Structure 1
Amino acid sequence: MLLKNGKIVLENEIIEGYLEIENKRIKAIKAGDTSKLGIDLKGNWILPGFIDVHVHGGYGVDFETGDQSRFQIFAENVGQEGITKYLQASVTNSLEANDHYYSEFGNFMTNQELTNNLTQAKCLGAHLEGPFIDPSRKGAHEEKLLKKPDIALLKRWNDLANHKIKMVTYAADFQDGSFTQYLVNENIIPSIGHTNMTAKDFERDWALGAKHITHLFNGMSGVDQHRPGLAVAGLIHDDVLVEVIADGIHLQPEILRLIYKMKGPQKIAIITDAMNAKGLPDGDYLLGQLPVVKTGMKVALKSSGSLAGAGATFDHNVRTFYNTIKMPMTDLVKMTSLNVAKELKIDDQTGSIAENKLADLVIMDPNLEVQMTVAEGGVIYEKLESNAKNVYMNQAISNG
């Protein structure tokens, strides 16, 4: 496959030209025009495929569907958002329910590796969000099911998931440091969130290796001159990567500007935190076992009106953050792809556009609307005026 006449956003520069894809990988990146057969992108952007490390679901599917065929449906749909890789997040469930869900998820992950499907986004593993969180900052988690961080329970679920839990959100002040140390030792990303801890409390776990914060400002202690909270810790530590729900609902524009100014593009990860109602009509849904209502891109608990996950797509969040800040495109792709690829230790394979890396790409128009998504060399979504795959194949046939 050859994609030409595009603005290719590399890590630190933008090239107007074309790229060639062969055997799942980027074979060549060239400036200028070419007479070779290929898909004409008409000056659109070529960005690295988006990586969402905190998404519960969408399109009628979430982790609590508990069925590997439903996990498959989700993987087939997120390409329309520009997502090529993701971590699927669970919410707080009963022990027995989690046993079932993580077993099904493990089967899905095994099947994904065996089939090597090039028509869908790739799930990299699970993000366990709950039950190890603070009841006072529970958000849309069922309080009676919450527990203090428990290594034995985590090991149990990770075993069921065939060791595919890649990240855990937890209230670090509800453990003595041993849970954090266990995560670090197991190469599971410790993500601090849903806690009322102080910035000073954070120092112990930061020293142990906790360098990720779940959806900054949401579900945590904030900025208080007498009791600075976790949000402050996330802002002042240069080596901490912070998740940002940039849907325009969870965070106001002034807060997005503050985060960008304090953290810079290297330590921000745009996420969705989306739940199963993403991509579906407004109405009543369930987040775990909690009734919620979706209105536009806002999802709230029916019982209290509190925000309950999100209904926005990844590309919407990208547009919102970009239009708020107007940052360089080379900064934007760090926040959508490269930063989390580095954290997941897969940046040698994906997360940026470079020769020999996997061809994980999203094509966007000048308004940052997704036109086409390519995952490991396969077109998994397209919105081009003419069918890109057919155009390319017909050109190749006529040439032969």
Structure 2
Amino acid sequence: MILKNGKIVLEHKIIEKGYLVIHDKKIIDIVEGTTDEFGVDLKGNWVLPGFIDCHVHGGYGVDFETGDTNRFEHFALNVGKEGITKYCQASITNSLGFTNKIYKEFGDFMSKSNKQGAICLGAHMEGPFISPAKKGAHDPKLLINPDIEITKHWNELAKNNIKIITYAGELQDGSYTKYLIENDILPSIGHTDMLAQEFDKDWKLGVKHITHLFNGMSGVDHYRPGLAVAALNHDDVVVEVISDGIHLQPEILKMIFDHKGPDKISIITDAMNAKGLPDGEYKIGQLPVIKTGMKVALKDSGVLAAAGATYDHNVRVYYNTCKMEMTDLIKMTSINAAKQLNVYEQTGSLAPNKLADIVVLDKNLKVLKTIAEGRVIFENNEY
């Protein structure tokens, strides 16, 4: 396959007009200029590395918990329309018995060789090891302190496919953090009421990732600085950002971008099963929620409950808010997540010998085509 006449965004430069040669799953060559060889004419549109959402629960009627045993396949087949080529699917807090069931089913899905659509890199376990004070849309009756043995069991059921775990650092003494790092699971502090200075314990052990900055955490209080302050002050920490324009206001998005810079931001959706569906009543776990537009909130309290926005929407919001360079944008959509998940040698940027994970966008950053490992998984029929 040849993709030609595209504006190609590489890690350190932009090729104003060039073409990519793809064979099997990989990019074989990236060339500046034009070619007379047969190929897909991109008509001057943007060519970026495929988006990586490292924190998404679901969408299109399914999530980690909702739907039949084909729910993981259903999500993978639909999420390509957002420009996503790789993702980590997130679970929420459930009973221990139900969590056993869903991680067994997830492990079975991950072991299948005939996957289609976007590629799941593994699970992001968000809960039950979180603070009741910052529970968000998690059932407080089911929360427990970080537990190594329980985590081992769930990861065994998942066939060692748990890649990220969100937990409240103050609920453990550092031993849980050490366990995650020693077992190549990305530790991410979130849903926590910890003080900024308390974060230093886990940071010194190697924690370099924060779950959805500002949401579900202690914040900026000059008398009681919380995790949000620590996340902004540590230059080597990557922060997830839900840039849907609902979870964070434009002034906060600008502050994060100016303070952290594009090298330490990872755009996520945190989307749940109602993404892509009509407005109405749904459930996250066992908790009733109401979806209105791209906003999802708990029915009884109005507290935000995950999200209803697509990844490409969040990309457009952040880009239009801060007007960053496209070479900076791809760090926030692909490169940083790939590095955090230790897959950057294979994906996350456009380069020869890397997987052909590609998204084609128009001038307004609307998705025209998505290619995952050399397979076209979405095409805009109007293009």
The alignment status of 1:12 with 2:12, answered yes or no, reads yes
Map of 1:233-272 to 2, 5 A cutoff?
233-272=230-269
CA distance in 2, matches of 1:83, 1:68: 22
Letter aligned with residue 89 of structure 2: Q
Map of 1:1-400 to 2, 5 A cutoff?
1-15=1-15, 16-65=17-66, 67-111=68-112, 114-115=113-114, 117=115, 119-385=116-382
Report the CA distance between 1:385 and its aligned residue: 3.6
Report the CA distance between 1:2 and its aligned residue: 0.4
CA distance in 1, matches of 2:264, 2:42: 31
Q: Check conservation: 1:190, 1:212, Cα contact below 8 A.
A: yes
CA distance in 2, matches of 1:345, 1:272: 20
Q: Check conservation: 1:365, 1:371, Cα contact below 8 A.
A: yes
Report the CA distance between 1:32 and its aligned residue: 1.1
Q: Check conservation: 1:67, 1:101, Cα contact below 8 A.
A: no
Report the CA distance between 1:265 and its aligned residue: 0.5
Aligned length, in residue pairs: 382
Q: Check conservation: 1:8, 1:17, Cα contact below 8 A.
A: yes
Unpaired segments ≥5 residues, structure 2: none
If the length of structure 1 is used for normalisation, what is the TM-score?
0.95
If the length of structure 2 is used for normalisation, what is the TM-score?
0.99
Residue deviations 1:367-399 (CA, integer Å, cap 9, x gap): 00000000000000000446xxxxxxxxxxxxx
Q: Check conservation: 2:76, 2:119, Cα contact below 8 A.
A: yes
Unpaired segments ≥5 residues, structure 1: 387-400
SS at match of 2:219: coil
CA distance in 2, matches of 1:136, 1:167: 22
Letter aligned with residue 248 of structure 1: G
CA distance in 1, matches of 2:357, 2:31: 17
Q: Check conservation: 2:280, 2:290, Cα contact below 8 A.
A: yes
Q: Check conservation: 2:61, 2:67, Cα contact below 8 A.
A: no
The sequence identity of aligned pairs, in percent, is 67
Letter aligned with residue 7 of structure 1: K
Residue deviations 1:224-255 (CA, integer Å, cap 9, x gap): 11111000110010110000000000000000
CA distance in 2, matches of 1:75, 1:86: 9
Q: Check conservation: 1:290, 1:301, Cα contact below 8 A.
A: yes
SS at match of 1:68: coil
CA distance in 2, matches of 1:354, 1:263: 26
Report the CA distance between 1:68 and its aligned residue: 3.5
CA distance in 2, matches of 1:65, 1:72: 13
Aligned-residue Cα RMSD (Å) equals 0.8
Aligned residue for 1:391? none
Q: Check conservation: 1:66, 1:105, Cα contact below 8 A.
A: no
